[in-house]
Homo-oligomer: A and B are copies of this chain.
Amino acid sequence: MTSSQENERRTEALGPNWAQCDASSVRKAARSGKLNGPTSGLAEGFVQANLAILPASDADDFLRFCQLNSRPCPLLAVSEPGAIAIPDLAENLDIRADATRYKVFHDGKVIDEPYNISEVWRDDLVTFALGCSFTFEHELLASGVSLRHIETGTNLPVFNTNVPLRPAGKFSGNLVVSMRPLNAKDAIRAVQISSRFPLAHGAPVHLGHPELIGIDDINSPDYGEPLEIKPDELPVFWACGVTPQVALAEAKLPFAITHYPGHMLVTDISRHSLSIL
Contacts and interface: CB of A to CB of B under 8 A. Distances in A.
B232 A207 contact: no
A120 interface: no
A195 B188 CA distance: 10
Q: How many copies does the complex hold?
A: 2
A209 B232 contact: yes
A183 to B, nearest CB: 8
Q: Is the interface of A mostly helix, strand, loop or mixed?
A: mixed
B187 A207 contact: yes
Given A191-B191, A192-B191, A208 B208 contact: yes
27 contacts: A184-B206, A184-B207, A184-B208, A184-B209, A185-B206, A187-B207, A187-B208, A188-B191, A188-B203, A188-B204, A188-B205, A188-B206, A188-B207, A191-B191, A191-B192, A192-B192, A192-B195, A207-B207, A207-B208, A207-B234, A208-B208, A208-B234, A209-B231, A209-B232, A209-B234, A212-B232, A277-B277
